[in-house]
Amino acid sequence: MSECIFCRIARGEIPAGIVYQDDDMLAFKDINPRARVHVLVIPRLHVASLEDIDESHDSLMARIMRRLPQIAREQGLETGFRTIINTGSGGGQEVFHLHVHLLGGGRLPGFG
């Protein structure tokens, strides 16, 4: 069993504010929100980062991308949202289980 913190959240071993889940993925509230809405969307499958993506993840990644607008709308983000994926230490990644930051509402960190 993986000791990875996001794998443990996916298995229900660590509590999290889960806002969406299905067979492929999980979305839960970031513990240190940088916007009114800040959720992390992760595959249930442990993939450390975008550096580890290959062809076998194509449909999983597509399903995650296509689900993001629905999760955003369910969080009340009617006018749009920002997504960020940090990759590797040089990209500011701290948790090495691939995750999409989904942010919105009010002023947003980062670009523009």
Nearest to 43 by CA among 89, 2, 104: 2
Q: Does 99 bind Zn ion (CB under 5 A)?
A: no
Q: For residue 25, list its beta bridge partners.
A: 43
4 versus 53: smaller Cβ distance to Zn ion: 4
Alpha-carbon span 34 to 104, nearest angstrom: 9
Decide if 97 is catalytic.
Answer: no
Smallest gap from Cβ 91 to ligand AMP, in A, equals: 8
24 versus 30: smaller Cβ distance to ligand AMP: 30
Smallest gap from Cβ 9 to ligand AMP, in A, equals: 6
Of residues 4-23, those binding Zn ion (CB under 5 A): 4, 6-7
Half-sphere exposure of 78 (CA within 13 A, CB side): 1
By annotation, the residues acting in catalysis are 99
